[in-house]
Amino acid sequence: MNTKVYIVDARHPNTDLLVSAAHIIQEGGLVAFPTETVYGLGADGTDSEAVAKIFMAKGRPSDNPLILHIADTAMVKTLAKEVPANARILMGRFWPGPLTLVLKRTQAVPDVVTGGLDTVAIRLPDSEVARELIRLAGVPVAGPSANTSGRPSPTTAQAVLADLEGKIEGIIDAGPCGIGVESTVVDCTTPVPTLLRPGGITMEMLLEVLGEVEYQPIKGEDTKAPRAPGMKYKHYAPLAPMVLYEGDSAQVAKAIADASKIALESKRVGAIVSNETAALLEKGVQVADYGSRYRPEEVAAGLYEALRYFDSEPVDVIYAEGIDEFGLGLAVMNRLRKAAGYRIVKVE
Ligand code: TXA
Ligand code: MG
């Protein structure tokens, strides 16, 4: 199929183009759309057949449930059986925005959306384009990130097309996403809300309004029954094997400089590092620079493009630099560890 590209302004999107895209969704087709975090792959969330096409196009395991995107808080009522006090606080403070809430679901939510769970993930995005698309479609829009399963999430329309061109009816291109990592997923069905996936709303922001949040960072791949089912799969991986260096930043920079220099003798070497570390590397190392290690927002915004950089610049091994886990750094490190398949070198 021919994937139609609708180019719109992120702030003042052309309504006629969004109406055409919304029609595709109403007719059971797939449209990729921008959000403030990453691009999503949208389908009518009330249409089981349409939602099933999302899993086909992405090659996504069917037990990994999807987020339902809504245009206003009123849409929660038909999807969630109850909205606990904590969820209400989070909605009031962070919606619209990069926060997804897991709530007890109603019968209106098709099984294919939730992978058979009795809960549903709901998000009200801040992106004007996303909200207007959902409003025009008139239904909750089921939408995972618009990448092939296992690959880095797309933060540009070009990255979406690289994975899904010819497999989806359309894409709305509103330029690069601002935040660059996915929404924070919080389970509000537990007595103390549980952080399932760190993302655009930081742990510090959650703690400020909730006081208490459960979080168990996943260590290694030995998670038998992960709470967010998507967390157990290989994710965000670049094409070449990647090794992640963590610890004191000066020592990490030195360790990557040393390791990449040795590797260069026999291999094509890539590095996903800060601009501070990039300056220390041998000329032969191919560098995808994610910005300053001291500005986690900058790293988040550049991370997935850096992970995709070596798709077109093939290398044999990639050395990646970790950052401190404050602010968006927590989400960045969660993604980098997965992308590395937990091949981690700790330096002190
Ligand atoms: O920023 C985002 O969240 C993007 C944009 C497009 O909105 N979407 C996104 O969707 O990242 P996806 O499908 O790539 O990630 C959704 C995550 C997965 O880890 C999934 O397992 C989890 O949310 N999830 C969905 N429904 C759930 C549920 N009922 N209970 C627990 N986890 C759930
Ligand atoms: Mg995803």
Q: CATH code at 255?
A: 3.40.50.11030
- 57 plus 146 within the same structural domain: yes
pLDDT tens for 27-49 read 999 999 999 999 999 999 999 99
Ligand 1 atom, smallest distance to 143 CA: 6
Placement of tokens 């927590």 in the chain: 330
Establish if 226 belongs to a structural domain: no
Pocket of ligand 1 from Cβ distances under 6 Å: 35, 37-38, 40, 64-67, 98, 100, 102, 114, 117, 119-121, 123, 143-145, 182-183, 185, 196-197, 228-231
Backbone angles phi, psi at 56, to 5 degrees: -65, -50
150: number of Cβ within 10 Å: 14
Nearest ligand to the CA of 144 is 1
Cα–Cα distance measured from residue 15 to residue 32, given in angstroms and rounded to the nearest whole number: 16
Mutation test of ligand 1: which of 184, 185, 216, 235 has the most ligand atoms closer than 8 Å to its C-beta? 185
Q: Domain residues for 289?
A: 242-347
CATH code of the domain containing 9: 3.90.870.10
Looking at the structure, do residues 206 and 254 belong to the same domain, yes or no? no
- Please check whether residue 229 lies inside any domain of the structure: no
* Residue 307 falls inside a structural domain: yes
- Among all ligands shown, which has an atom nearest to the Cα of 300? 1
Residue 143 and residue 18 in one domain: yes
Taking the centre of ligand 1 as the mean of its atom positions, its distance from the CA of residue 19, in whole angstroms, is 26
Domain end call among 193, 210, 227: 210
Kind of pairing between the strands at 184-187 and 31-33: unpaired
The pLDDT of residue 36 is: 98
Confidence band of 223 (pLDDT split at 50, 70, 90): very low
What is the number of domains present in the chain? 2
Are 183 and 269 found together in one domain?
Answer: no
| 252 and 301 fall within a common domain | yes
Query: Is residue 231 a part of any domain in this protein?
Result: no
Q: Are 254 and 172 in the same domain?
A: no
Based on the domain organization, do 177 and 255 belong to the same domain?
A: no
**Could you tell me which of 229, 15, 221, 22 has the C-alpha nearest to residue 115?**
229
Among 153, 186, 210, identify where a domain stops.
Answer: 210
Percentage, residues of the chain above pLDDT 70? 95
Bond prior to 13 in cis (omega within 30° of 0)? no
Same-domain check for residues 343 and 267:
yes
- pLDDT given for residue 235 in this prediction: 82
Same structural domain, 173 and 255? no
Tokens of 183: 């929404």
Q: Residue 29 domain-assigned?
A: yes
Give the residue, by CA position, lying nearest to ligand 1 atom 21. Answer: 230
CB 176 within 8 A of CB 322: no
Residues in the chain: 348
Residue 60: inside a domain:
yes
Q: Is-above-0.85 flag for pTM?
A: yes
158 in the same domain as 22? yes
What's the sign of the alpha-carbon dihedral 111, 115, 116, 117?
negative
Contacts 24+ apart (CB under 8 A), 80-83: 80/104, 80/105, 80/106, 80/120, 80/122, 81/105, 81/106, 83/188
Nearest to 183 by CA among 123, 137, 143: 123
Q: Give the mean model confidence (pLDDT) for residues 121-135.
A: 98
Instruction: Answer whether residue 39 is part of any domain.
Output: yes
Q: Which ligand is nearest to the CA of 331?
A: 1
